[in-house]
Amino acid sequence: MPNAPRVRVGVVGYGAIGRHHARNLATLENVDFIGVAELAEQNRLDADAQGYSTFFSLDDLLRAGVDAVVLSLPTASHYEYAMKLIDVGCAALVELGMSSAIIQRLLRFGASCGKAALERF
């Protein structure tokens, strides 16, 4: 889509799956791939070696001006990070792994903030 607006996207987590998200996002025509937020030094070095900007935290990535974030983290971290993204009004793609109860809490939180949330399986 040549006239589609560009979307600024980042990835949190550059492990086994996150590196695939980063690689794919970096090739999309209407995406400005902003970079990767990663705690592990070796993973940050790996992302840097691919030419991606790296950040130490989600907050750093948000300050870079992303419109959307792909969360590619251990399941136990999904809720905390997704809540933060909803709270600041940033779109999030969360990989599988959350229970339906957690998903319902995220949906209710989004609705209470006046922010849209979408659940797909």
Q: Is residue 1 part of a domain?
A: no
Residues 6 or more apart whose Cβ sits within 8 Å of residue 43:
14, 15, 18, 36
- pLDDT > 80? residue 117: no
How far lies 43's CA from each of 40, 49, 55, 56, 116, in Å? 5, 10, 11, 11, 32
Q: Is residue 33 part of a domain?
A: yes
Q: Is residue 98 part of a domain?
A: yes
Sheet of 54-55: strands edge to edge? 54-55, 31-37, 7-12, 68-71, 91-94
**pLDDT confidence band for 121 (50 / 70 / 90):** very low
**pLDDT confidence band for 2 (50 / 70 / 90):** low
Structural domain total, the chain: 1
Q: In CATH, what number is assigned to the domain containing residue 42?
A: 3.40.50.720
